[in-house]
Amino acid sequence: MQLRAFRQEDLQELQRLDALCFPPRISYSRAELYYFVRHPRSTTIVAEMDAAAAREHDFRQRIAGFCVVDWRLDGGRKVGHFITIDVAPELRRLGIGRILMEAAEAKLVELACLAISLEVAVDNHGAQMFYELLGYERTGRIRGYYADGTDALVMRKPL
Protein backbone atom coordinates (compact mmCIF):
# COMPACT_ATOMS: atom_id res chain seq x y z
CA MET A 1 0.00 0.00 0.00
CA GLN A 2 1.28 3.42 -0.83
CA LEU A 3 -0.13 6.87 -0.23
CA ARG A 4 0.03 9.44 -2.95
CA ALA A 5 -1.51 12.73 -4.01
CA PHE A 6 -4.66 12.90 -6.12
CA ARG A 7 -4.25 12.80 -9.90
CA GLN A 8 -6.87 14.06 -12.34
CA GLU A 9 -7.37 10.56 -13.76
CA ASP A 10 -8.44 9.34 -10.29
CA LEU A 11 -11.66 11.34 -10.24
CA GLN A 12 -13.97 8.72 -11.77
CA GLU A 13 -12.69 5.97 -9.48
CA LEU A 14 -12.93 8.20 -6.38
CA GLN A 15 -16.52 9.08 -7.22
CA ARG A 16 -17.34 5.39 -7.75
CA LEU A 17 -15.75 4.54 -4.41
CA ASP A 18 -17.62 7.34 -2.62
CA ALA A 19 -20.90 5.98 -4.04
CA LEU A 20 -20.02 2.54 -2.62
CA CYS A 21 -19.20 3.97 0.79
CA PHE A 22 -22.22 6.21 1.32
CA PRO A 23 -25.93 6.09 0.50
CA PRO A 24 -27.07 7.99 -2.65
CA ARG A 25 -28.24 11.14 -0.86
CA ILE A 26 -25.09 11.32 1.25
CA SER A 27 -22.39 10.43 -1.30
CA TYR A 28 -20.93 13.22 -3.41
CA SER A 29 -21.80 13.82 -7.03
CA ARG A 30 -18.95 13.95 -9.53
CA ALA A 31 -19.20 17.77 -9.64
CA GLU A 32 -19.13 18.09 -5.84
CA LEU A 33 -16.17 15.76 -5.49
CA TYR A 34 -14.33 17.57 -8.28
CA TYR A 35 -14.88 20.87 -6.47
CA PHE A 36 -13.48 19.49 -3.21
CA VAL A 37 -10.41 17.76 -4.65
CA ARG A 38 -9.48 20.80 -6.77
CA HIS A 39 -10.06 23.48 -4.12
CA PRO A 40 -6.84 25.42 -3.42
CA ARG A 41 -7.05 24.79 0.36
CA SER A 42 -7.74 21.08 0.09
CA THR A 43 -5.51 18.04 0.10
CA THR A 44 -6.56 14.67 -1.30
CA ILE A 45 -4.62 11.58 -0.31
CA VAL A 46 -5.10 8.33 -2.22
CA ALA A 47 -4.30 4.87 -0.80
CA GLU A 48 -3.21 2.70 -3.70
CA MET A 49 -2.58 -1.02 -3.55
CA ASP A 50 0.19 -2.61 -5.53
CA ALA A 51 -0.87 -5.17 -8.12
CA ALA A 52 0.00 -8.16 -5.91
CA ALA A 53 -2.07 -6.87 -2.98
CA ALA A 54 -5.00 -6.12 -5.27
CA ARG A 55 -4.90 -9.72 -6.56
CA GLU A 56 -4.56 -11.11 -3.02
CA HIS A 57 -7.76 -9.32 -1.98
CA ASP A 58 -9.45 -10.08 -5.32
CA PHE A 59 -9.84 -6.34 -5.80
CA ARG A 60 -10.29 -5.09 -9.36
CA GLN A 61 -9.31 -1.48 -8.70
CA ARG A 62 -6.01 -0.44 -7.21
CA ILE A 63 -7.40 2.52 -5.26
CA ALA A 64 -8.29 1.14 -1.83
CA GLY A 65 -9.37 4.43 -0.29
CA PHE A 66 -8.92 8.16 -0.17
CA CYS A 67 -9.54 11.18 1.99
CA VAL A 68 -10.07 14.86 1.35
CA VAL A 69 -9.26 17.52 3.94
CA ASP A 70 -9.21 21.28 3.83
CA TRP A 71 -8.61 24.12 6.25
CA ARG A 72 -10.12 27.47 7.12
CA LEU A 73 -9.39 30.34 9.45
CA ASP A 74 -11.36 30.36 12.69
CA GLY A 75 -10.64 33.37 14.86
CA GLY A 76 -7.32 33.88 13.08
CA ARG A 77 -6.24 30.27 13.62
CA LYS A 78 -6.10 27.51 11.03
CA VAL A 79 -8.49 24.62 11.61
CA GLY A 80 -8.59 21.52 9.45
CA HIS A 81 -11.70 19.70 8.29
CA PHE A 82 -12.26 16.20 6.95
CA ILE A 83 -14.53 16.46 3.93
CA THR A 84 -14.60 12.71 3.38
CA ILE A 85 -12.73 9.53 4.12
CA ASP A 86 -13.60 6.51 2.01
CA VAL A 87 -12.27 2.96 2.18
CA ALA A 88 -13.53 0.22 -0.13
CA PRO A 89 -16.04 -1.84 1.89
CA GLU A 90 -14.22 -5.12 1.22
CA LEU A 91 -10.94 -3.63 2.49
CA ARG A 92 -12.16 -2.18 5.77
CA ARG A 93 -10.61 -3.20 9.09
CA LEU A 94 -7.16 -3.51 7.49
CA GLY A 95 -5.90 -0.18 8.88
CA ILE A 96 -6.31 1.80 5.65
CA GLY A 97 -8.67 4.34 7.23
CA ARG A 98 -6.32 4.93 10.14
CA ILE A 99 -3.36 5.37 7.79
CA LEU A 100 -5.28 7.87 5.65
CA MET A 101 -6.48 9.84 8.67
CA GLU A 102 -3.03 10.00 10.23
CA ALA A 103 -1.49 11.15 6.93
CA ALA A 104 -4.13 13.86 6.54
CA GLU A 105 -3.65 15.01 10.13
CA ALA A 106 0.13 15.18 9.58
CA LYS A 107 -0.42 17.30 6.46
CA LEU A 108 -2.63 19.69 8.42
CA VAL A 109 0.00 19.94 11.17
CA GLU A 110 2.52 20.93 8.44
CA LEU A 111 0.07 23.66 7.44
CA ALA A 112 -0.02 24.90 11.08
CA CYS A 113 -3.59 23.79 11.81
CA LEU A 114 -4.35 23.60 15.51
CA ALA A 115 -7.31 21.21 15.34
CA ILE A 116 -9.39 19.19 12.93
CA SER A 117 -13.11 18.54 12.76
CA LEU A 118 -15.44 16.24 10.88
CA GLU A 119 -19.11 15.39 10.59
CA VAL A 120 -20.51 11.90 10.89
CA ALA A 121 -24.08 10.66 10.54
CA VAL A 122 -25.78 10.12 13.90
CA ASP A 123 -26.67 6.57 12.86
CA ASN A 124 -23.12 5.64 11.75
CA HIS A 125 -22.05 4.16 15.07
CA GLY A 126 -19.09 2.23 13.64
CA ALA A 127 -17.51 5.40 12.25
CA GLN A 128 -18.18 7.27 15.50
CA MET A 129 -16.35 4.58 17.50
CA PHE A 130 -13.47 4.62 14.99
CA TYR A 131 -13.08 8.40 15.29
CA GLU A 132 -13.25 8.24 19.08
CA LEU A 133 -10.44 5.65 19.08
CA LEU A 134 -8.37 8.14 17.08
CA GLY A 135 -8.92 10.88 19.67
CA TYR A 136 -11.92 12.75 18.28
CA GLU A 137 -14.54 14.07 20.70
CA ARG A 138 -18.16 14.95 20.04
CA THR A 139 -18.63 18.70 20.11
CA GLY A 140 -22.04 19.28 18.56
CA ARG A 141 -24.89 18.18 16.35
CA ILE A 142 -26.17 19.62 13.08
CA ARG A 143 -29.83 18.90 12.46
CA GLY A 144 -30.68 17.80 8.89
CA TYR A 145 -27.05 18.06 7.77
CA TYR A 146 -27.26 15.39 5.07
CA ALA A 147 -29.48 15.66 1.98
CA ASP A 148 -31.66 12.81 3.25
CA GLY A 149 -32.40 14.77 6.45
CA THR A 150 -30.08 12.78 8.71
CA ASP A 151 -28.42 14.72 11.51
CA ALA A 152 -24.65 14.84 11.85
CA LEU A 153 -22.48 14.79 14.92
CA VAL A 154 -19.54 17.18 14.85
CA MET A 155 -16.32 15.69 16.18
CA ARG A 156 -13.07 17.51 16.81
CA LYS A 157 -9.49 16.67 17.71
CA PRO A 158 -6.62 18.96 18.69
CA LEU A 159 -3.54 18.55 16.50
CA 118 to chain centre: 9
pLDDT band at 59 (very low <50, low <70, confident <90, very high): low
Q: Look at 90 and 137; give whichever has higher pLDDT.
A: 137
Averaged pLDDT, 80-84: 96
Domains and CATH numbers, the chain: 2-114 (3.40.630.30)
pLDDT at 147: 87
pLDDT at 134: 96
Per-residue pLDDT reduced to its tens digit, 95-146? 999 999 999 999 999 999 999 999 999 999 999 999 999 999 999 999 999 9
Amino acid at 150: T
Picking from 110, 109, 118, 151, the residue whose alpha carbon sits closest to that of residue 137 is: 118
Cα–Cα distance list, 149 to 11, 143, 144, 155 (Å): 27, 8, 4, 19
pLDDT at 32: 93
Per-residue pLDDT reduced to its tens digit, 13-57? 999 999 999 888 788 998 999 999 999 999 999 999 876 666 666
